[in-house]
Structure 1
Amino acid sequence: MKCIFCTINETVLENKLAYAFFDKYPVNKGHLLIIPKRHVEQYFDLTLEERQAIDDLLFKGKELLDQQHQPDGYNIGINCGEEAGQTIFHVHVHLIPRYKGDIDEPRGGVRGVIPEKRMY
């Protein structure tokens, strides 16, 4: 089965080792995915250079989204493995803009991956 991320051509940001594109099923307006160009399933298998390239695009993505959408905050997330919710097995980092009022109570943020543990 061919990896859908290995055939993406609608990129908005790119460097030597990674690129970014808008999520086809965004959580919020401006939701970006940043991925390595090399097909790698798990974040923990990336090279140091690939991690740095992804980090570079995270910051450039934030600048782009700040200009285009003026979000009030961000969530950054990586699903590593099927039990963590990964469904496409090509590393992808979510940069999700957050907006005041997009959920009633944002407290707990990424802890919401297990809903009953979000509030503490």
Structure 2
Amino acid sequence: MSVFEKIPEENKLYKGNNFFLIYDRYPVSPGHILIISNKKKSDYFSLSDEEKLELPDLIDKAKELIQQENFPDGFNIGMNCGEVAGQTVMHFHCHVIPRYKNDMEDPRGGIRHCVKGKGYY
């Protein structure tokens, strides 16, 4: 059983047809949200066409929820697919990471480096 299958209902910020949203337990920045598949699917490439079609709406919903409490200047949206790509929980999840001016010295490269020192846990 994946750790995502043990998440209490009260921790879910929003529920769609195929996914739910939660705050990341190890946030890179304030407001960091995960979009998690209801069914255990290993990564983006294992999602059905129906699930893939719903995902953009949930990215927008995550952005909306983040902006209710935080005032980011930008966003990183990312998925790690496979262990060698950095995936540690083999259950589909998409990161919606708010970014803030001066949260790192040089943001060039975007998701390649995200926020220095925050990519590891």
TM-score, normalising length: structure 2: 0.88
Which residue of 2 is the match for residue 118 of structure 1? none
Secondary structure at 2:40's aligned position in 1? coil
**Do 1:35 and 1:54's aligned partners in 2 also have CA atoms closer than 8 Å?**
no
Which residue of 2 is the match for residue 21 of structure 1? 22
Deviations 1:47-81 (A, max 9, x none): 11112222211101101112210100000010000
1:81 paired to 2:82: yes
Question: Alpha carbon RMSD of aligned pairs, Å?
Answer: 1.5
**Do 1:13 and 1:19's aligned partners in 2 also have CA atoms closer than 8 Å?**
yes
4+ residue segments displaced more than 4 Å: none
Q: Is 22-31 or 51-60 further displaced after alignment?
A: 51-60
Percent identity at matched positions?
A: 45
**Do 1:22 and 1:31's aligned partners in 2 also have CA atoms closer than 8 Å?**
yes
Which residue of 2 is the match for residue 107 of structure 1? 108
Which residue of 1 is the match for residue 48 of structure 2? 47
Secondary structure at 2:102's aligned position in 1? coil
Secondary structure at 1:93's aligned position in 2? strand
1:35 paired to 2:36: yes
CA distance in 2, matches of 1:58, 1:8: 20
TM-score, normalising length: structure 1: 0.88
CA distance in 1, matches of 2:106, 2:99: 12
Measure how far apart 1:16 and its partner are. 1.3
CA distance in 1, matches of 2:25, 2:63: 18
Unaligned runs of 5+ in 2: 117-121
Aligned residues: 113
Deviations 1:81-116 (A, max 9, x none): 000000000011000000001101101102338x9x
Which residue of 2 is the match for residue 5 of structure 1? 4
Alignment of 1:90-101 (within 5 A): 90-101=91-102
Unaligned runs of 5+ in 1: 116-120
